[in-house]
Every structure is written in structure tokens, then in C-alpha cells.
Amino acid sequence: MSWSDSATITVEMAIGLGAIEESDAALVLEIETETAGTSSAALGTASIETSWSGLGWFTIEDDPDGKIETGGLIADETVSESDWVDVTASVSAQTIRHLKPSRFGAFDARTATLTLLDDETRTWDPLNMSGPYVAGSTSLLREGMRVRVTATYGGVSTRLFTGFVAAWPVSLGTWPAAEVVVECHDWFALLARAQTAELGVAVGSGETVDARIHRILDAASVPLVERDIGTSTVTCQATTLGGNALSMLRAAAASDGGEIWVAPDGRVTFRSWAEMWTSDQRNLTQWTLTNAPTGAAAECDYDGDPLVSNDLRDTISRAILQRVGGAEQDAVDSGLLALYGSRAFSRTDLVNSSDTAVLDLAAAIVATQPTMPVRISSVTIRPDIHTSALTMALAARLFDRVTVSHEQITGDTLVRDALVVGVEHRIEDVRWATTLTLQDCTDLIVFTLGTSEIESVDMFA
């Protein structure tokens, strides 16, 4: 796909590699010894059962009797550059989405929907054993296959999506399909169905949130090269690790007040509250979006009118938080309470090491929130039309601070500041539209940790 001599989109698949199968890593493994019985090893919805018949157990990794890999949530094959197959010529359309649904919500998994032209050749039909992607009478088109989408502009390549095929569609229609729509997702979708093994003894008391996140990712066998974990000073209580991997990751990040997501390059990414609130990326405008461009640097014109919301969806007057095994901590903004009533955000699964830390977090959440009901919640830019939009679509990052300036027909100008918390690329042969989901931060001032500028709250002094 190309929109100019210097802008292209490339879609690649590591066909046959990275598939999630019943022979892959077992996160829970129990095998009885010397007594008759049944043992099972399970990963998400996949499972392997073995039984003892008096003749002995099968040997782990002794094919074909039974195999349990140790490489993690995906097969432990190494995907090298030579393994990637360029399928761009078959892609007629693609949509890439990543979203934080609300200020207090967690990031969803990044998804990609690819429309592959088949022209009734059954190239992309996993039931076609005469197709080009078959090995040993087995189709290589399957769940878990690695996928990546790359944009190249001005000689610089930027990853838009890195993930796995969620499911490969199969049709039993009379006529071969003209196109095949393939859904893909990132690590979060895999972690959402991974159960980590319960430890016999609690570990990790006093470790920092970033260390806890690494511990959970280790238990889920996410490779180190697929992580980008920042640093935190907030400490955690001990854990036995048993439970859903994604839920534990989100609880750990929330205990810091930070954010966790999967980046376009496929890495599980965490940034602490302190890292985010003290960064120029969040405190200083990175881009100006306007319908009256002046040609200034880092300025981008947009397509149509921004979506304006006028509600209190992201405004609270109190935060009621609780750590596991701890007491409920309630922080209140008396001014907002009087103005809007009791609008509470609550959470009970935090893993902080003390109730004091939870109260500090609740106070900081209440004190550092936008309070303006009129906000710009999304804006669409057109990389296929405006060079500035193409530059922004490729360079913008989550939590970039942007200024949206909309000149109205009356001559008035509505100006709001916001953080980028979601992106959707809709790319076809001759059209590329990118919608940015925004979280208002107009009335949030720049502050310095270690001072009393957050209404005397200093969570990280």
C-alpha cells in the first residue's frame, strides 16, 4: 500500500511460526509419582492429559508420546527476519485499534483486522491442502501466527502493530471466498487467558511495582525482549502469584497509579505515575491539532470537526481504594463533592504494601483530575491527504499532550488540551484515516513532585 513515493505500509506474517498449540507451555503441571492416577497440564483453553497405567509415565519432551514445551505462551521457535513473509499485495484493507475506554479504565488489547484478497484461489483457506502454505499435510494458517504491520516514510520505518492471529476463518461455502478477514491481537489477549501457577509460599514482599510486573511476566514466560518496563518506587505486599496474568499486571500497575499497555512494536510496556507526571511528553504540548493551520512546526490539520463531549464521565469527587487484606481508604475533594455530589471511583484489588500508600494514591487521583465537562474526546486526521497528519500518525505516542484548537464559524476558537489515550488506523488502497481518542487535561497544571503543588499531596516526595 502506498500513498506517495515515500510512504508505504507493509504487512508481514511469520507463517507457521508462533502458533499456540496443546503442545506448548504448561503453566500448571502436576504429575503424580509411583501411584496410579491422572495428571493434566493446562494453558488457557488448551490442555494435555496423561495417565499412569503401571508401565510408567511418558517422558516430558519425548515426542510423539507427549510434549510440554517450556518456552512460554507461544511455541519456543525463534522468529528471524528471514521467517517473515510479505503479504502486502494480498491486503486490501486493514484496521488497527488500541483504546483506553475511560480515564479509570485499563487499556484493551491492540487489535488488527486484515482483509486479504483471495480471488477464489483458496490461497488463504486453511482447508486447502494444495495451497502454498502447507507443510506435512498440515495448514500453516492458524491461530497464534505472528503478524506485524510497518509504515515507512522518509526512509524511517515505524511499527503500527505487532501481534498474533486470533483465529483463522474457515468457510465451507460452495464457492471459494473472494476475500478473507483475519483478526489479530497483541500480548494482552494471550495474557488474559493465562493462569499462573499458585506458589506454595508467598514471595516478593516489599518489591517495587516494576519488579512485581517482571515477576508476573516471568511466570507467564513473556520474553525479556518483549518488555519495556519503567521504574517505580511504590512497594508491594507478598504474592503467591496464582491467578489470571493480565488481571495481576493491571492490579500492580494500578497500585502505583501508572499505566500498562502493549506498544505497537509488541512490547508489554509500563510507566509509573512519577515517570508519566514528570515527563515533558505529558506536561508540554507535543502537537497542535487545528482547522486553521499556520504552518508552524508540530502542527497538524484535521478532517471534519472534532467530537465534543459535555459530561462528567471522567470527573470524580472521591476515590475509595483498598489493598488486598487492607482497610478501605477514602479521599474526597470537598469542592467537587459540593458541586457534583458523590461521584466515586473505587478499587479493591490493589497490592500496595501499606494502607498509607493506598490513601496517598487515592488523594493523588482526586487531586490530579480534569474538572471541565466540555472536552474534545476524539479527532480524526488524514495521513493520505495532509503531510503533517502522516508525520503525526507515525510519530505520536500514547500520553502525548496535544492542544486542539477549533475555529468556529462565529469566529470564536475552542481550545482544549488533552492526552492521546487511543488510536484507530483505517487503511485502504487509497484512503488512510487515523482517529485519536483523547483524555482532557486542560486544567491540569505542570507540577514538580516533592512540592505541595498537588493540594499538599506528595505521593512520591
51-92 tens-digit pLDDT: 433 333 333 333 333 333 333 344 445 678 888 999 999 999
191-200 tens-digit pLDDT: 998 888 899 8
User: CA-CA distance, 375 to 418, in Å (whole number)?
Assistant: 8
- Asked if 267 and 228 count as a contact pair (C-beta separation under 8 A), the reply is yes
User: CA-CA distance, 276 to 260, in Å (whole number)?
Assistant: 12
Q: What is the pTM of this model?
A: 0.84
385-443 tens-digit pLDDT: 989 999 999 999 999 999 999 988 888 889 999 999 999 999 998 899 999 999 999 87
172-207 tens-digit pLDDT: 776 667 889 999 999 999 999 888 889 989 999 999
Which pLDDT score is estimated for 453? Answer: 40
User: Cα-flanking dihedrals φ and ψ of residue 89, to 5°?
Assistant: -60, -25
Confidence of residue 374 (pLDDT cuts 50, 70, 90): confident
Q: Is the pLDDT of residue 461 over 70?
A: no
- All three cell numbers of 45, joined, read 483453553
255-270 as b/e, with b when 16 or more CB fall inside 10 Å?
bbbbbbbbbbebbbbb
215-257 tens-digit pLDDT: 999 999 899 999 999 999 999 999 999 999 999 999 999 999 9
Which pLDDT score is estimated for 248? Answer: 97
Which pLDDT score is estimated for 1? Answer: 61
Which pLDDT score is estimated for 445? Answer: 57
Percent above pLDDT 70 for the chain: 81
User: CA-CA distance, 273 to 279, in Å (whole number)?
Assistant: 10
297-343 tens-digit pLDDT: 899 998 888 999 988 888 899 999 999 999 999 999 888 888 888 99
Beta bridge partners of 151: 9, 158
Cell 463531549 belongs to residue: 309
What structural domains does the chain harbor?
7-19+80-185 (2.40.10), 195-277 (3.55.50.10), 280-311+372-440 (2.40.30), 318-367 (no CATH)
Which pLDDT score is estimated for 228? Answer: 98
